[in-house]
Amino acid sequence: MGKLATITRRTFLIGSAAIAGGVAFGTYLYKRPVDNPLQKDLTDGEAAITPYVKISPDGITLITPRADKGQGAYSIQAHLLAEELDIDPNTATISPGLPGPAYYNSAILTEGLSFPAYDNSTLAENMRSFMAVPARLFAMQLTGGSSTVPDGFIRMRMAGAVARETLKAAAALRTGISRAQLQTENGRVILPDGTSLPYTELAADAATLEPVTEVALRPASEWTRLGKPMPRIDMPAKCTGTEKYGIDLEVEGMVYAAVRANPGIGGTMESFDATAATTMRGVHKVIPIKHGVAVIADNTWRAWRAANKIDITWGAAPYPANTDEIFARIESVIDQEEHRDHRNRDDGEVQSSLDSGDILEATYKVPYLAHAPMEPMNAIVLVKDDSCVIWTGTQIPLFVRDHAAKITGLDAEQVLVHVQPMGGSFGHKLEDTHVLQAVEIAVAMRDTPVKLVWSREEDMTHDYPRPGAIAKGRGKVVNGQVDTFDLSVGQSAMAPNWFGRLMGMSLPGPDQTITTGSWDQPFAIPNYRVTGYRAPEMVPVSSWRSVGASGNGFMHDTLLDELIHSAGADPLAERIRLCNDDTSLKVLEKVGEISAWDGPSIEANRGRGVAFCLSFGVPVAIVTEVTHTDHGIRIDSVFAVVDVGEVLDPVNLEAQVSGGLLFGMAHAMNCETTYENHAAQQNNFHAFEGMRLYQTPKIEVVALTNASKIRGIGEPGLPPAAPSLGNAIFAATGQRLREMPFNKHIDFI
């Protein structure tokens, strides 16, 4: 942890500022104080701070800038602050704050570097801390990449500690008792005689003091909240229907909008006839927007109903019309030098090894996939002459703000984004097309708030999916051991495509996401090569839970499993033998232990498969057990072992790992997004079912803490899930699955 601390401390300082009646504690960025998000609350001269804690006579507010899309981010951020502040986070107001660049996410860009996450060499460390600078340049207050915990682990506890000590200093001044003799507990400073002063009464005094910044963070052994099960703060609301998601908000006087945009994403609208729609009950207006048409009505259902009655002629979209053509283009770049994007792994002599002996060859394929969170995209926007206010669930509030400023012609400071809790995202809410449509409509409806909700059909046909990919694998075994492993992955570049939409400019250089989850695995195979080939931009694509590793985890581990099988070795033992990272090795050993691994076959028609993937710095090994029944494959049990360095909340960790691996298996079973006539064919859950409760296996999760850095766990559980399932099916049936979804080749119960 020492190393992490030095890196983070170099880039921020904790300080305080006076606010109306009280005090705020937070970070000063030491290079250039970027615009302050709470400037609307603070007066001039106090604007250099990015607060995490605000205390006033009325109460305590904890500011949790990383968005909550279901992973428990608000809750964990509040607990990080509360651990050092000594308050019960359930008694505080939790607010995402207003977005501001000072909440930049220093952790997220570090995974895009070409050092494997297990490489802690000085060069790798320097590069990772250097990446905090571009993150700030891009002003990314974005949530993703399992970065919330690594990013806030030091910073938020420091803010809590500085606040606590400064409040104690205020109490010391008032009582004449030295700060060292004061304790804190439950939002109060405790005096030696047992009497106490609430923080809320000390806030105004604390605002006049120099903040106490010489504080030491408590060691894990002294934690009272972190490291133990922490009931999620949002749980009661989510179990009583009282949590307000963006889709549930009502702003006084609002109207309801529906859109129909070209289902060929980015295609034009040639013409439309809204005669039937405009006369329908509740319809105020029908207006053309970019790529489509919008209906404004007096409720959601009426708006949708009218939108479906509009006759529209669409123009073609700027990519091949159907899935076969798209995959043909992907396949055509593989092993073509002029399309090589990067080769980050090239150990030994792969080429010459492949020139002789028995070569195993196989082709793997992963489909395009929509995100389809349960809550469809929605936004409420109010545009006035001098302001634009937006309420929406988003992982990218600053991009939303800047894009809205551009459309409305307002300054960025005149745009306010209120981030709402999200009913899932999986990467979907790293996009803002729906918000921009709502802004466009709100410009036409000036002074009236407009609520836009995408129907499920609109949502799934306008999803920027996980890119499809094809990989060609080759390899060789020598003396019962894996000797040569060569994987060539072809895919459209995701990161530049996504950045292009957000930044209006592409990202230069190679796109690591083509091979993340393949090139960076901790195995010492003598001849080991992974190459990424870049297919042209086609369907616009984006991040999907676990990003590049979602497909690469499957392709890499399945090839490895095939080679191990042809070597006649035990799948777990050979992975352990090849593994050259100690933390990963222990994860593999542990999964063998908890699954009582004794080989891939269990009994007739039953088998088990193991898979491993290191992603977002977290090594994860999964063993899956299946039965081949008369009605298809039944997934019986799953054992997962992860290493996150430090477990902040074991209960939420288990939920995230289980949820991630089930997400991986669900899509591996039966989901894909295909295109016909430029349009996504799966437009609702009947055609994109995923997993249902009766198909859900028993799951056991164990978290180890041998890693030197703390890591987030929202994504890493996913990548090894599909290959462990495929490997288990192979063990049970002898049928090797090289293409997802698996139900193209085998039935599930």
CA atoms within 13 A on the CB side of 396: 26
Number of DSSP helices (H) and strands (E) in the chain, helices first: 20, 29
Least distance between other proteins and beta carbon 281 (Å): 6
Q: What is the dihedral of CA 288, 292, 296, 300, to 10 degrees?
A: 180
Token reading at 526: 């003598």
Site string for ligand FES, 355-384 (x = CB under 6 A): -------------------x----------
Least distance between ligand FES and beta carbon 425 (Å): 10
Token reading at 450: 């407009």
- Are 277 and 309 contacting, i.e. CB atoms less than 8 angstroms apart? yes
For other proteins, give the closer residue by CB, 459 or 557. 459
- Are 216 and 411 contacting, i.e. CB atoms less than 8 angstroms apart? no
Q: Which does 299 bind (CB under 5 to 8 A by kind): other proteins, ligand FES, none?
A: other proteins
Q: Using CB under 6 A, which residues numbered 58 to 87 contact ligand FES?
A: 70
For other proteins, give the closer residue by CB, 696 or 733. 696
Q: Which does 322 bind (CB under 5 to 8 A by kind): other proteins, ligand FES, none?
A: none
Token reading at 218: 């408590």
Whether omega before 741 lies within 30 degrees of 0, making that bond cis, reads yes
What number of residues does the chain have?
Answer: 749
CA–CA dist 145, 350 (Å, integer): 32
For other proteins, give the closer residue by CB, 653 or 740. 653
Q: Using CB under 6 A, which residues numbered 641 to 670 contact ligand FES?
A: none
**Cα separations in angstroms, 531 against 326, 356, 552:** 20, 21, 12
**Cα separations in angstroms, 194 against 165, 176, 202, 409, 603:** 18, 15, 17, 59, 66
For other proteins, give the closer residue by CB, 2 or 241. 241
Least distance between ligand FES and beta carbon 292 (Å): 23
- Are 595 and 622 contacting, i.e. CB atoms less than 8 angstroms apart? no
Q: Fill in the DSSP letter of residue 466.
A: B
For other proteins, give the closer residue by CB, 99 or 423. 423
Which residues have C-beta within 8 Å of that of residue 240, sequence separation ≥ 6?
none
For ligand FES, give the closer residue by CB, 515 or 683. 683
Q: Using CB under 6 A, which residues numbered 389 to 448 contact ligand FES?
A: 424
Least distance between other proteins and beta carbon 692 (Å): 4
Least distance between ligand FES and beta carbon 424 (Å): 5
Least distance between ligand FES and beta carbon 685 (Å): 7
> Where on the chain is the footprint of other proteins (CB under 8 A)?
69-72, 229, 231-232, 234-245, 247-248, 250, 256, 281, 299-302, 372-376, 422-426, 453, 455-456, 651-652, 655-656, 658-663, 666, 684-686, 689-694, 696, 698-699
- Are 574 and 524 contacting, i.e. CB atoms less than 8 angstroms apart? no
Q: Which does 446 bind (CB under 5 to 8 A by kind): other proteins, ligand FES, none?
A: none
Question: Can you spell out the DSSP letters for 322-369?
Answer: SHHHHHHHHHHHTT-GGGEEEEEEEES-HHHHHTSS--EEEEEEE-BB
Q: Fill in the DSSP letter of residue 301.
A: H
For ligand FES, give the closer residue by CB, 376 or 712. 376
Site string for ligand FES, 461-480 (x = CB under 6 A): --------------------
Edge-first strand order for the sheet with 527-535 is: 340-347, 527-535, 481-492, 469-478, 360-366
Q: Which does 231 bind (CB under 5 to 8 A by kind): other proteins, ligand FES, none?
A: other proteins
Least distance between other proteins and beta carbon 697 (Å): 8
Task: Report the DSSP beta bridge partners of residue 701.
Answer: 640
Least distance between other proteins and beta carbon 459 (Å): 10
For other proteins, give the closer residue by CB, 81 or 247. 247
Token reading at 556: 């890499």
Total residues at interface with ligand FES (CB under 6 A): 3
Least distance between other proteins and beta carbon 721 (Å): 10
Q: Fill in the DSSP letter of residue 547.
A: T
Residue 176: count other Cβ atoms within 10 Å of its Cβ.
6
For other proteins, give the closer residue by CB, 470 or 699. 699
Q: Which does 659 bind (CB under 5 to 8 A by kind): other proteins, ligand FES, none?
A: other proteins
Least distance between other proteins and beta carbon 355 (Å): 46
- By CB under 6 A, name the binding residues for ligand FES: 70, 374, 424
